[in-house]
Amino acid sequence: MKVISKFFLILIFLIGIFIIYLSTFGIETDKFNNQISNKILQIDKNLEVELKKIKLVLDPFSLKINIKTVGSKLKKKK
């Protein structure tokens, strides 16, 4: 019984550390650049966006993942 309780305590601790890490630092990626650029072009065809990195940050209280852009440049075509 002690082994099972220690396992669950360690598991809960690791999940808590993972949630805290995702809430404060997040994960940087560049896989969503094309999707975001295409969505912006659908909204305004004269606006060009150059994205370098995208940061995924967890908001644990509202159970959402927020996306932040890091080092982006906006250009107006005309």
Locate 24 and state its tokens.
Answer: 């404060």
Locate 17 and state its tokens.
Answer: 């550390």
pTM, 2 dp: 0.69
Selection from 47, 58, 55 nearest residue 71 by Cα: 55
Residue spans per domain, the chain:
2-76
pLDDT digits (tens, 9 = 90+) for 32-78: 888 888 888 898 888 888 888 889 999 988 989 998 887 888 888 77
pLDDT digits (tens, 9 = 90+) for 1-40: 789 999 999 999 999 999 999 999 999 988 888 888 888 8
For residues 34 and 43, what is the distance between their CA atoms, to the nearest angstrom? 14
